[in-house]
Amino acid sequence: MNTLKLDLLITKENNTYKGSLTYKNNPLTQSAPSIPGLETQLKKLLWEFESLDPETVEFNHYYQCPAFFSEFAILNKEQLAAYAGIGTDRFDAFSSGREKPSPEEAERIENALKELAYRLLKTSLVLS
């Protein structure tokens, strides 16, 4: 069974996630209260309109800043801002959606997240 990976743009409005993607030049949009719910709704649309088996579809997530920080609220924004070398006021503006990061700022945030993910992947807990 071949897996089809689709790019999913995720935004957040009020308390609802909104996902958008394009498949065969057909734009699809759906809303749900959670990311897993959003994926389920989009897979249903892909089944209904494109006859794609939901078991064969996976998504690459592309978050706008407010949706990202809502979904990953476990991250300490102040520490992540410092880790990325961005001021906390500016970082708060990104996470609230008041401003968008410049391409350089977005790259610095992504690099900080990748470094954090790399460190987490190498982490093990020792029970003593």
* Residue found under tokens 């500016």: 90
Domain assignments of the chain as residue spans, ordered by start: 4-63, 71-121
**4-63 domain in CATH 3.30.160.620?**
yes
Nearest to 32 by CA among 10, 56, 65, 5: 10
Write the burial class of residue 17 (CB in 10 Å: 0-12 exposed, 13-18 middle, 19+ buried).
buried
| pLDDT band with cut points at 50, 70 and 90 for residue 108 | very high
- pLDDT more than 90, % of the chain: 73
Model pLDDT for residues 56-73, shown as the tens digit of each residue = 999 999 999 889 988 888
The per-residue pLDDT for 60 is: 94
Separation CA 26–CA 104 (nearest Å): 31
Q: How confident is the model at residue 1 (pLDDT cuts 50, 70, 90)?
A: confident
Residue range 74-95, pLDDT digits in tens: 888 899 999 899 999 999 999 8
Given a contact cutoff of 8 angstroms between Cβ atoms, the answer to whether 41 and 17 are in contact is no
Q: How far is CA 57 from CA 3, 8, 46, 65, 88, in A?
A: 6, 11, 9, 25, 38
